[in-house]
Amino acid sequence: MSGPAAVRGQVALISGGSRGLGRILAQRLLDEGWKVATFSRSANEFTERTAAERPDDFLWAQVDLGDRSALRGFVTAAARRFGGIDLLINNAAVLNKQELFLTTSTRQIDALIASNLSAPIALAQACARVMSTQSSGQIVNVSSINAIRGYRGVAVYAATKAGLDGFSRSLARELGPLNIRVNSVIPGFFDSDMTTEVTDRNRERIQRRTPLGRLADIDEIADTVLFVTSSRASFITGQTIVVDGGITC
Ligand SMILES: NC(=O)c1ccc[n+]([C@@H]2O[C@H](COP(=O)([O-])OP(=O)(O)OC[C@H]3O[C@@H](n4cnc5c(N)ncnc54)[C@H](OP(=O)(O)O)[C@@H]3O)[C@@H](O)[C@H]2O)c1
């Protein structure tokens, strides 16, 4: 590491760092010495304990992905508090109860696009503006295998994730000259609150169709995100990196 980040320590902004993958990423980055700014709709035991134990390194705020000005305000607050932003992980997303497209309401469609696509784009713009003043930075968009394979009941969710992948590729072209890398990580199924509704029958089917014969451990997804953000991946940008045990191969 060289430049301003080396002096002040590296700063990550993670959307949805209270639970699931976001929480694991927040904890692992803190363990590696990063400062972490994260938000979610509700505080929980993790965010409250970490804010109390690591007040100099951890910032949490209540922000909803649907509130564009609150998102921008959070980026400004994080950059001010920690002196910059070196990494944005667009992790938070919503997967509504799986529903067939013909009966999905316009309101649900708009809300899903707002939280899963418009919000990550707004966060990327606000963070990239900070990163451009530092002449370095990275953005990782957490996508889904739904972006690259069709599944019933998730058409709009799939559209938002495919949109995010296209966004990553073109943004990488635009921000590369500013020394900002942009990638998408495409996880297969892993256990989290988002997948509690997967029935035993579906879980068995997923396992059967996965060459490695199981769901991912959440740390395997975090490993991939952290690899992409590491110096070992310093020449990787504009890519979609699939980590799915082979289910889409
Ligand atoms: N789980 C899987 O099998 C799987 C597979 C492929 C891709 N993914 C992707 O991986 C990422 C992480 O998924 P996960 O399973 O870890 O999710 P999760 O366990 O449901 O956690 C989601 C996180 O985002 C926050 N969040 C959700 N809606 C929000 C909103 N409207 N405003 C602000 N924060 C919000 C949640 O906190 P609050 O609820 O308190 O707001 C929580 O911190 C997502 O992008 C998901 O699409 C997951």
CATH of the domain at 115: 3.40.50.720
User: Which pLDDT score is estimated for 200?
Assistant: 87
Q: Which amino acid is at 56?
A: D
Angle, nearest 10°, between helix axes 155-175 and 106-113?
30
**Is 248 domain-assigned?**
no
Provide the domain count of the chain: 1
Q: Is 151 a catalytic residue?
A: no
C-beta 120 within 6 A of ligand 1: no
User: Which pLDDT score is estimated for 233?
Assistant: 98
> How far apart, in whole angstroms, are the C-alpha atoms of residue 79 and residue 64?
19
Pocket test for ligand 1, best of 62, 97, 164, 192 (most atoms within 8 A of CB): 192
Residue 118 DSSP class: I
User: Which pLDDT score is estimated for 115?
Assistant: 98
**Is 83 domain-assigned?**
yes
Q: Which domain holds residue 227?
A: 4-243
* 46-64: b (≥16 Cβ within 10 Å) or e: bbeebeeeeeebbbbbebe
User: Which pLDDT score is estimated for 198?
Assistant: 82
**Is 249 domain-assigned?**
no
C-beta 19 within 6 A of ligand 1: yes
Residue 104 burial class via C-beta count within 10 angstroms: exposed 0-12, middle 13-18, buried 19 and up: middle
Atom of ligand 1 nearest to the CA of 66: 31
Q: How far is the CA of 15 from the centre of ligand 1 (A)?
A: 9
Of 3, 178, 184, 189, which is closest to residue 88 (Cα–Cα)?
Answer: 184
User: Which pLDDT score is estimated for 4?
Assistant: 60
**Is 202 domain-assigned?**
yes
**Is 194 domain-assigned?**
yes
Q: How far is the CA of 237 from the centre of ligand 1 (A)?
A: 24
* 193 three-class SS: helix
- Confirm whether pTM is higher than 0.95: yes
User: Which pLDDT score is estimated for 6?
Assistant: 59
**Is 15 domain-assigned?**
yes
C-beta 18 within 6 A of ligand 1: yes
State which residues of the chain have pLDDT below 50: 2
C-beta 198 within 6 A of ligand 1: no
